[in-house]
Amino acid sequence: MHIARIARVDLSDAETDAFAAQLSSVLEYVSILDTADVAGVEPTCYTVPAHDPLRDDTEIPSLAVDTLLQNGPVVKKGHFAVPKVIGSKAGV
């Protein structure tokens, strides 16, 4: 009942009894884990070896602007030209 009151959970007496039994079961299991021999085991916060999956950050030359602009349907003043969508009156 105390934990339910702290969590501000309204439980019936039957629910309180069921949850108390489940919590007791969990605590019993934890006490079994406490008996494990961990002498010589280093504490860790990782379950797998730490590694860096990222590639090296190496600088490579990019494509020329003219080559890139060939992919656009409309090019104006060295930029892709797209229809105006902000402030347009289309569809109004």
Residue 27 lies in a domain: yes
CATH number at residue 26: 1.10.20
Residue 43 lies in a domain: no
Q: What is the mean pLDDT of the chain?
A: 85
Q: Is 60 exceeded by the pLDDT of residue 6? A: yes
Question: How many domains does the structure of the chain reveal?
Answer: 1
What integer is the mean pLDDT of 74-81?
91
Rounded to whole angstroms, the maximal C-alpha distance in the chain is 76
Residue 13 lies in a domain: yes
- Percent pLDDT > 90 in the chain is 34
Domain housing 28: 1-36
The rounded distance, in Å, linking the Cα atoms of 78 and 64 is: 12
pLDDT level of residue 71 (50, 70, 90 thresholds) = confident
Residue 92 lies in a domain: no
Task: Give the per-residue pLDDT at 14.
Answer: 92
Q: Is 80 exceeded by the pLDDT of residue 30? A: yes
pLDDT level of residue 24 (50, 70, 90 thresholds) = very high
The rounded distance, in Å, linking the Cα atoms of 4 and 20 is: 10
